[in-house]
Amino acid sequence: MPFLVLSGISKAFGAPGARTEVLRDVSLTVEKGEFVAIVGYSGSGKTTLLNMISGLLRPDSGTVTLNDLEITGPGPDRGVVFQNYSLLPWLTVAENIALAVDQLFPNWSAAKRAQHVDHHIAMVNLSHARDRRPSELSGGMRQRVSVARALAMDPQILLLDEPLGALDALTRATLQDEISRICRESGKTVVLITNDPDEGIMMADRIVPLSAGPGATLGPSIAVDLARPRDRKALNHDPRFKEIRSRVVSWLLGEGGRPAVSVSRKLVLPDIEPEDLNVPRPLIGGRRQPRRRSEERRETVEIPS
């Protein structure tokens, strides 16, 4: 039985009359324990899609169900790792995680909650920074705290919203490995949103490309049947990796690419009139006006995707 089901999701934003459709008829099923990556263009509605799983947004039409229960609002059964970390800057690492733990496990003893917090800080290798504030941490460390907080909630599903988007390439690579290890160890179902096909292939069991908006839809699922743990260096020469990569990229650039857009605009032609300099003209009041006063033409330009 599928664990997470999105069926026929559509979502539009904007005032009535000037609405832009962001997602059109998006359907997806995710099995329990599966790691799915949704790869797509920036601004194509990936975060909107994830927000509808987390319940922060409601779809205009269609339903999202988790474990056969329809999602109607946000809840702690879906742990979200936000793009910009969303750590509370006035709390230390431990306090940020404790906020979630204290809220969700009020029946536990204080000692057990503290132990749970410390366990998750250790899991992301931040024990040395447990009493620091987010402003004293690097971007990569902040995102690790965010992952630890989401996992400490012991959610049924983990939603990662471009978690590594703001990091430099090297930190990104390390964190990709680290997060996929943690996710595997926890056995959680994970939905990852990213704009980097390589990141999806490195981390996920299955890749679903999202076409460019407006009106984005999901493309065909592409299984990533590469053995784990995946070795970044060896993978670069793996023919299977290259094949998966080329399938994802070619769908995104081809079928899922931006439709060609043509723009038509008004052009004002310059007022130039050829003049015969051999014709004598009187010194005063002799200059003739150009006959075409700012003539207008329309021009249509096709912008390639």
- Positions in the binding site for other proteins (CB under 8 A): 54, 56, 73-76, 78-80, 82, 84, 86, 88-90, 99-100, 103-104, 133, 153
- β-pairing, 69-70 with 78-81? unpaired
Written as six digits, the tokens of 119 are 């366990």
Question: In the complex with other proteins, which residue's Cβ is closer, 153 or 201?
Answer: 153
Question: In the complex with other proteins, which residue's Cβ is closer, 98 or 244?
Answer: 98
**Shortest spacing between CB 62 and other proteins, in angstroms:** 21
**Shortest spacing between CB 110 and other proteins, in angstroms:** 17
Answer for the pair 170, 17: CB distance below 8 angstroms, yes or no: no
Q: For residue 248, give the amino acid letter.
A: V
Answer for the pair 36, 30: CB distance below 8 angstroms, yes or no: yes
Written as six digits, the tokens of 242 are 């290259």
């793009």: which residue's tokens?
83
The neighbour count for residue 190, using CB atoms within 10 Å, is 25
The whole-angstrom separation of Cα 91 and Cα 236 is 41
> From residue 192, how far is each of 158, 171, 238, 289, 300 by CA, in Å?
8, 18, 23, 66, 40
Question: In the complex with other proteins, which residue's Cβ is closer, 91 or 249?
Answer: 91
**Shortest spacing between CB 76 and other proteins, in angstroms:** 6
**Shortest spacing between CB 82 and other proteins, in angstroms:** 6
Could you report how far apart the first and last alpha carbons of the chain are, in Å?
39
Question: In the complex with other proteins, which residue's Cβ is closer, 153 or 248?
Answer: 153
Written as six digits, the tokens of 5 are 């089901």
Question: In the complex with other proteins, which residue's Cβ is closer, 74 or 229?
Answer: 74
The whole-angstrom separation of Cα 258 and Cα 43 is 12
The whole-angstrom separation of Cα 214 and Cα 205 is 27
**Shortest spacing between CB 211 and other proteins, in angstroms:** 26
- Positive or negative CA dihedral for 3, 51, 181, 196? positive
Answer for the pair 162, 194: CB distance below 8 angstroms, yes or no: yes
Question: In the complex with other proteins, which residue's Cβ is closer, 88 or 122?
Answer: 88
**Shortest spacing between CB 180 and other proteins, in angstroms:** 23
Question: In the complex with other proteins, which residue's Cβ is closer, 90 or 305?
Answer: 90
Q: For residue 221, give the amino acid letter.
A: S
The whole-angstrom separation of Cα 142 and Cα 126 is 10
**Shortest spacing between CB 78 and other proteins, in angstroms:** 7
**Shortest spacing between CB 146 and other proteins, in angstroms:** 10
Question: In the complex with other proteins, which residue's Cβ is closer, 88 or 269?
Answer: 88
